[in-house]
Amino acid sequence: MIKAENITFRYRENDINPALKNVSFTIEKGQYVAILGHNGSGKSTLSKLLVALLKPQEGSLSIDGIVYSKENLSQIRRKIGIIFQNPDNQFVGSSVEDDIAFGLENRCIPHDDMKPLILQYAQKVDMMDYLEREPESLSGGQKQRVAIASVLALNPDVVIFDEVTSMLDPKGKSSVLQIIKEIQESKEKTLISITHDMDEAILADKCLVFAGGELIASGSPKDILKNKEIIDIAKIESPFIYRISERINGINPTYNEKELIKQLCK
């Protein structure tokens, strides 16, 4: 479980408006949580706090009872993996296989144990046929899938997806979201998606909505969707299917495409 208690963070001591202000929440083990907000809302700052790149000046942050501190830094970072927004900035190997192996080598995993892990997670993200390929030959979606494999191979308890689909075309986005959905269904990992895309957030178990550095709402995606005030304050857009269903007379608003079709066919 991840627990934040009244955390506040300022990038400069004299900042009048903190990047995060008195934020408290819990994320249960195995949950898929979407952290929603517009640019400048504080969600990216929160992601840096969660991976211990930054430290809150006030309040406390813990994972599985381990308090974020300098002494616990190594232990915390082993528990959390992160995939970033730009797939071009994440490749460190000369091939797909080398990239997945990189983190394992840093963990001093024996070579005989490393190969099965590389194959296992390349298979999981459907990149087995690309192990010898160079990064320049891959699409954005394929690079993100490799980044996911590289993180999963390290077996973290928590995986953070930081705007991972924002630079992808529809096909790449769909392939990455399918992998996230499969991980979610397994309940083996706690998943955190940092996003401004409600079409992505709708897949989550819970949403945390940020605006102006404050947590302004917490609840299921359905509950967040129904709250127009929160949607407006956070400057986020309802899913496309939901917006269409709202405009059709005699139809109950829904974010589910199959449900919308079912209602239309009645």
What would the pLDDT profile of 96-139 be if each residue is shown by its tens digit? 999 999 999 989 899 889 999 999 999 999 999 999 999 889 99
Mean local confidence (pLDDT), 140-155: 93
The 32-36 sheet, strands edge to edge: 80-83, 158-162, 190-195, 32-36, 206-211, 214-219
Whole-number Å distance between alpha carbons of 143 and 96: 9
239 CB contacts (<8 Å, ≥6 apart)? Answer: 198, 199, 202, 225, 255
- Does the pLDDT of residue 245 top 80, yes or no? no
Mean local confidence (pLDDT), 70-98: 89
Closest alpha carbon to 99 in 129, 143, 137, 141: 143
pLDDT the model gives residue 256: 72
Mean local confidence (pLDDT), 156-178: 90
- Does the pLDDT of residue 235 top 90, yes or no? no
**Pure H helices in 36-90:** 43-50, 73-79
- Does the pLDDT of residue 244 top 90, yes or no? no
pLDDT the model gives residue 249: 76
pLDDT the model gives residue 206: 96
What would the pLDDT profile of 174-211 be if each residue is shown by its tens digit? 888 899 999 999 888 999 999 888 888 888 999 999 99
Reported as a pLDDT band with limits 50, 70 and 90, residue 13 is confident
Q: List domains and CATH numbers for the chain.
A: 2-89+158-235 (3.40.50.300), 237-266 (no CATH)
- Does the pLDDT of residue 243 top 80, yes or no? no
Mean local confidence (pLDDT), 205-218: 96
pLDDT the model gives residue 237: 77
pLDDT the model gives residue 143: 92
- Does the pLDDT of residue 172 top 90, yes or no? no
Reported as a pLDDT band with limits 50, 70 and 90, residue 87 is confident
Reported as a pLDDT band with limits 50, 70 and 90, residue 1 is very high
- Does the pLDDT of residue 155 top 90, yes or no? yes
The mean predicted confidence, pLDDT, of the chain is 90
Question: What is the longest distance spanned by two Cα atoms in the chain?
Answer: 63
- Does the pLDDT of residue 266 top 80, yes or no? no
* Tokens (6 digits) for 158: 């928590």
Whole-number Å distance between alpha carbons of 216 and 183: 28
Whole-number Å distance between alpha carbons of 119 and 229: 47
